[in-house]
Chain A
Amino acid sequence: RKEVEQDPGPFNVPEGATVAFNCTYSNSASQSFFWYRQDCRKEPKLLMSVYSSGNEDGRFTAQLNRASQYISLLIRDSKLSDSATYLCATGGGNKLTFGTGTQLKVEL
């Protein structure tokens, strides 16, 4: 089993839709959790950290479920500019482990 797993997609959604991605992790000792956004041929950029109680940043909501060992990202009112690959990352101590990413395509 991979340490961090994501559905590769693509998720094709109409503009204005709500879409959610999950990311499962196998290391129960993981202490930190993040969502990154990566545009085609660009570097990953931090979208948001994921906190135990869940957190929101505008149209984006992240949640952590330690019991089931997954994190989620919810995007409301999708924009064309949200089209990208979303990487989850988990870690503890020195390193992060990244998922392979979920591709989102927002269409007119």
Chain B
Amino acid sequence: NAGVTQTPKFRILKIGQSMTLQCAQDMNHNYMYWYRQDPGMGLKLIYYSVGAGITDKGEVPNGYNVSRSTTEDFPLRLELAAPSQTSVYFCASGVGNQPQHFGDGTRLSIL
């Protein structure tokens, strides 16, 4: 029972590079979310999706893109990495008003 799986767990990027953070869930949840958490700070919502083919911006979407072609997968794309995007990224999934379940995070450093 994997729950929410994120890959990679760690990554170092150079400024200007691009990458995709992968997120997959096997709980058949309609809702999926991407958060970032900076050291000592709270979770900030980047993007979310209420179902396949539907995505919407969260609080801090600039510099990121998402897609949701299947119920299971919700990748997050960084096109031109900037130092300000150094953070821990969490993917989560849920159903309606039920609690969200989190993956164990991707730690991203941009140098």
Q: Which A residues fall within an 8 A CB radius of B?
A: 31-32, 34, 36, 41-46, 49, 87, 89, 91-96, 98-101
Contacts of B2 in A (CB 8 A): none
Contact A100-B41, Cβ < 8 Å, known A31-B97, A42-B104: yes
Size category, B interface = 20 to 34
Q: Which B residues fall within an 8 A CB radius of A?
A: 31, 33, 41-43, 45, 48, 50, 56, 58, 88, 90, 94, 96-105, 107
> In the complex, A96→B43 CA distance in Å?
10
> In the complex, A106→B102 CA distance in Å?
25
Please state if A92 and B97 are interface contacts (CB–CB under 8 Å).
yes
Please state if B105 and A95 are interface contacts (CB–CB under 8 Å).
no
Main SS class of interface, B: strand
Please state if B43 and A43 are interface contacts (CB–CB under 8 Å).
no
Residue of A41, A91, A92, A94 touching B88 (CB-CB under 8 A): A41
Contact A96-B42, Cβ < 8 Å, known A43-B105, A44-B90: no
Please state if B42 and A100 are interface contacts (CB–CB under 8 Å).
yes
With most chain B CB atoms within 10 A of its CB, the pick from A36, A49, A93, A95 is A95
Contacts of A34 in B (CB 8 A): 99
Residue of B43, B48, B101 touching A98 (CB-CB under 8 A): B43
